[in-house]
């Protein structure tokens, strides 16, 4: 019988343009997130808890654009988006433009689990809350809230001031530069029984309009998870507006369910349904990143895939049978950024194997 505490977790630190000088710090962070996720899976037997635990580690780091250290809005505040999806019951929870919450992914998880609560009088539990309403609900649920200014890191404030000055002087000179820091974070976890969950968290694009909500909060765009004979899960990153128009998380998950070759399927789908999408036809650059897991509980074999059209993407992954996680910085030539996708991946096994990733 397959073991629900045996599993595989993958994380991403976003698709964007990452500094090579910070590469080792990115790797260490991704490994810490994977380790925390696997520890959570073993103690709770819950893939949802595992995915959220991993993303919480990423939100707490100033290296990422999620939670503490998020990009600032045009008026200098932190507003975050996050979502989770539980593939075993297809429940979903999300927050958009939430302020004053240390870990938005925890609020999204609580909303996801709240879907089964009978709140009486025929009222429907919310699956997506935004702005002050989301913050008030988080406080009511006992989730840690902090003064909004406590979420602003020195790095984020420096970047904000740099681009704010340039935009107010001549925005035409910095449009491309601003686009490239869009590194949303996320995780996908699957156990030996095929239960799968996905999570996504983001501080949004630099100098975004206050109240703007990106793909990390939108159903089918930021995260996706579905359990079946073949279980799939995905989490995205990149320009939220591009990802929303193409429902990329669900699009990628759907394309690998019945694929003979998942790698080829992801490449073809990224090309036809994202780069060449009719919904993005007027854009010079189409910027995205995605991680995806495909797993057969019957065969105990899975594929972990990642793809992006940005300059770089940081990913990490770990099998519960391993002592440590692996990390990788995937890169795309500058000439191909926004125009061609790169697809990479590894296979993994969760049972009865001599060689395990």
- Name the pLDDT band for 161 (thresholds 50, 70, 90): very high
Q: Is the pLDDT of residue 182 over 60?
A: no
Question: Does the active-site annotation cover 263?
Answer: no
The reply to whether 124 falls in a domain is: no
Q: Rounded distance, CA 257 to CA 14, Å?
A: 24
Phi, psi dihedral angles at 221 (to 5 degrees): -110, -40
Confidence of residue 181 (pLDDT cuts 50, 70, 90): low
Q: What pLDDT, in 10s, does the model give residues 39-93?
A: 999 999 999 999 999 999 999 999 999 999 999 999 999 999 999 999 999 999 9
> Could you give the number of structural domains in the chain?
1
In a domain? residue 354: no
Residue 336 lies in a domain: yes
- pLDDT confidence of 354, banded at 50, 70, 90? very low
Residue 14 belongs to a domain: yes
Phi, psi of 302 (to 5 degrees): -140, 170
CB neighbour class for 103 (10 Å; exposed up to 12, middle 13-18, buried from 19): buried
pLDDT digits (tens, 9 = 90+) for 222-244: 999 999 999 999 999 999 999 99
Around 25, how many Cα atoms within 13 Å sit in the side-chain half-sphere? 10
Residue 2 lies inside a defined structural domain of this protein: no
Q: For residue 204, is it within any domain?
A: yes
Tokens coding 277? 């999408």
**What whole-number distance in Å separates Cα of residue 96 and Cα of residue 14?**
18
Residue 176 counted as domain residue: yes
* Residue 301 Cα to chain centre, angstroms: 23
Domain residues for 202? 7-91+152-349
Q: Does this model's pTM top 0.85?
A: yes
Q: Is residue 97 part of a domain?
A: no
Q: How high is the pLDDT of residue 47?
A: 97
- Give me the percent of the chain exceeding a pLDDT of 90: 86
Residue-level pLDDT at 202: 97
Which entry of 73, 184, 251, 269 is annotated as an active-site residue? 184
> Which CATH number goes with the domain that contains 272?
3.60.20.30
* Distance in angstroms (rounded) separating the CA atoms of residues 68 and 209: 19
């Amino acid at each position: 019988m397959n073991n629900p505490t045996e599993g595989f977790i993958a994380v991403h630190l976003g698709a964007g343009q990452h500094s090579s000088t910070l590469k080792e710090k990115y790797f260490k962070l991704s490994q810490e997130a994977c380790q925390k996720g696997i520890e959570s899976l073993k103690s709770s037997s819950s893939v949802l808890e595992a995915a959220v635990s991993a993303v919480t580690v990423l939100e707490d780091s100033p290296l990422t654009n999620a939670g503490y250290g998020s990009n600032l809005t045009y008026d200098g505040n932190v507003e975050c988006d996050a979502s989770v999806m539980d593939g075993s019951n297809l429940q979903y929870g999300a927050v958009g433009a939430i302020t004053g919450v240390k870990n938005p992914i925890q609020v999204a998880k609580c909303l996801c689990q709240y879907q089964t609560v009978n709140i009486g009088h025929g009222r429907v539990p919310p699956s997506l809350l935004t702005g002050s309403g989301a913050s008030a609900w988080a406080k009511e649920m006992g989730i840690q809230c902090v003064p909004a200014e406590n979420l602003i890191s020195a790095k984020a404030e420096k970047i904000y001031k740099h681009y704010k000055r340039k935009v107010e002087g001549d925005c035409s000179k910095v449009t491309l530069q601003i686009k490239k820091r869009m590194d949303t974070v996320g995780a996908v976890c699957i156990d030996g029984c095929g239960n799968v969950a996905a999570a996504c968290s983001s501080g949004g694009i630099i100098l975004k309009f206050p109240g703007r909500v990106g793909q990390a909060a939108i159903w089918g765009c930021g995260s996706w998870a579905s359990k079946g004979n073949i279980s799939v899960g995905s989490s995205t990153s990149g320009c939220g507006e591009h990802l929303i128009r193409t429902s990329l998380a669900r699009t990628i998950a759907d394309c690998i369910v019945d694929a003979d070759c998942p790698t080829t399927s992801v490449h073809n789908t990224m090309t036809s349904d994202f780069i060449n999408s009719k919904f993005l036809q007027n854009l010079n650059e189409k910027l995205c990143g995605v991680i995806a897991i495909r797993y057969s509980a019957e065969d105990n074999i899975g594929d972990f895939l990642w793809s992006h059209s940005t300059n770089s993407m940081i990913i990490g992954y770990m099998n519960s049978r391993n002592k440590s996680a692996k990390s990788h910085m995937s890169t795309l030539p500058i000439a191909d950024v926004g125009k061609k996708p790169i697809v990479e991946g590894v296979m993994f096994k969760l049972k009865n194997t001599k060689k395990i990733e």
